[in-house]
Chain A
Amino acid sequence: MASENMNLTLKIWRQKGANDKGKMVDYQIADVSPDMSFLEMLDVLNEQLINSGDEPVAFDHDCREGICGMCSLYINGEAHGPDRGVTTCQLHMRMFKDGDTITIEPFRATAFPVVKDLIVDRSAFDRIQHAGGFISVNTSGNTIDANAIPVEKHDADKAFEAATCIGCGACVATCKNSSAMLFVGAKVSQFALLPQGQVEATDRVLNMVSQMDEEGFGNCTNTGACEVECPKGISLENIARMNREYLAASLKG
C-alpha cells in the first residue's frame, strides 16, 4: 500500500469505435495520489491527454459511489481490479505502488461489444430483464399494500441480498465462459423468493434463461469466480436456485 504519490505506467485498451480493431497503448502518469479513486486517476490522465492535444480515454461512469455499475473495467486481470466487494470508483490507488504497470481493458464478452475504448454495451442485460425480471401489479385503485403480505424473514433477507445486484457485468467479465448466470440467478431469485413473484415464476425463469442464451453468453461451469469478483457479494446459491426454478418450470411445461 502506497502512502506517497506514485508514478505509474498504464496499458490501456484504445478502440476508436465498435468496428475498429483496437490495441493496447502505454501511458505514463506522474504524481498519482494514493487517496484518489481509480476513476479520478483516469480523469487526471484524460486532462493530461487533452492538454497535450490527444484523444481522452473513453470510460463509463455515473454515480461514482458504487451503485450504478457502469464502469466495466478489467484492471490487472480482474473485474474492477484487485480489491474485493468494490466497483471501479471504489477502488483506490492505494491498492497500487509506485512504479507499477496497470493494465486496463474493457469487460470482454461477445454479448458485451465494445462501443469505444473502455466502454461496452451491456444492453443484453436490459433485454434479459425485459424478458421476465418484473412482477405485474394491479394499480387500478385496489392495490394490496406489499407489506400486508407476510414474507418469512429468511426468504425476505435472501431476496434482498439477490436484489442488491447492480447489473454491472463483473460476473460475465470474470467468468472464463462469459456466463451471465450470476446476474440472471440474482434477478430470478429476488422474485422467486417472494410471494409477489410466484404468479409469473414459470414464465419468468424460462424467458429470462432463453434470452440469456440468445444473447450469446457462455455456460456456467461453477468456477465460482463471479461470486468472488461480484462487488455486491451475490452468492452462487442464486445460480443453484435458478437451476431449480428452471428445471421445475421446464417440467411444468
Chain B
Amino acid sequence: MSGILNSSIGRKFAMALSAFFLMVFLLQHFSINILSVFIPDTFNVVSHFMGTNPLVQYGLQPVLIFGVIFHFVMGFALEIKNRKARQVSYAKNNGGANSAWMSRNMIWSGLAILSFIVLHFIDFWIPEINTKYILGDMTGMHNGEFRYYHELVEKFHDPLRVGAYVIAFVFLALHLLHGFNSAFQSVGANNKYTKGLKRFSKIYAIGIPLGFIFIALFHHFNH
C-alpha cells in the first residue's frame, strides 16, 4: 500500500475519491443555498447550524479544506508530470477530432474554479471565521435577527461580483461535464450502468452550476 500514491493509477484513484467528496459537498452546498430563494428563515436556521455545530466546524470543515487542497495540488502535480511526458509537441494536433474540449482543459477550468474559491473565501469564509473565532460572536445575530440571509443578499448587489460568480459557475459546469464520469472510470467503474450515469452526469454538471447562477441572479435582481 505504501507506494500506491506514487503510482499513476493510485493518483488517479485519489483524485477521483476527492472529486466524489467535493461533488457531494457541492450538492449539499446547493441544497442549503437554494433555501435562501424560497424560505429565507430556514436558510438562516440551517446556516446557523452549519456555522456553529462542532461536528461540522471541527470535523467536516477541515476534511473539506483538505479535500479541496488535495484535489488541486494533485491536479497540478499530475499536469506537470503529464507535460513532461511529451517534451516536443506536435506541429499540428487535432485534439477536437477525438476528445471533448472539457476533457482536454480540466487544468484551465480547474484554475478558474480555484480563483473563484479564493474570491469566495474572501467574500464569505474569512469574514465568517473573523466574526466567530476572532471576535468571538457565535450568536449568528445582527440587529436582533439572523445575519446570514442579509450577508448573502448584500454580496450580490455588486454586478461585477455576480458576473464573476456566473463565469466561475460556467467553468464549474465544464469541469463537471468531464469530471463526473471521469471519476467513475478512474475507480474502475465502467460497466452496464455507464451509459445511464453519463446521462445523469449531464443533469448534475449543468443543473447544479445553473442553480447556483440562478441564486446569484435572483438575489441580484430581487434586491
Contacts and interface: CB of A to CB of B under 8 A. Distances in A.
Partners in one complex: yes
Interface of A: 11, 13, 24, 74, 76-78, 82, 103, 105, 108-111, 174, 176-179, 181, 209-210, 212-213, 216-225, 228-229, 236-237, 239-244, 246-247, 250-251, 253
B68 to A, nearest CB: 19
Given A218-B81, A240-B190, A223 B104 contact: yes
Contacts of B181: 222
Interface in B149-207: 178, 181-182, 185-191
Contact of A243 (B97, B98, B187): B187
Instruction: Indicate the size class of the contact surface on chain B.
Output: 35 or more
A159 B195 CA distance: 22
B52 interface: no
A77 B91 CA distance: 8
Interface in B67-113: 78, 81-95, 97-100, 103-104, 106
B220 interface: no
Contact of B98 (A109, A213, A229, A236): A229
Nearest to B6: A213
Contacts, number: 137
B85 A216 contact: yes
Given A76-B94, A220-B8, A222-B103, 11 more contacts: A177-B85, A209-B9, A219-B82, A221-B103, A221-B182, A222-B178, A224-B100, A225-B99, A228-B98, A236-B185, A240-B191
A241 B188 CA distance: 6
Interface of B: 1, 4, 7-13, 78, 81-95, 97-100, 103-104, 106, 178, 181-182, 185-191
9 contacts: A77-B95, A109-B85, A177-B86, A181-B8, A210-B7, A222-B182, A225-B99, A240-B189, A240-B191
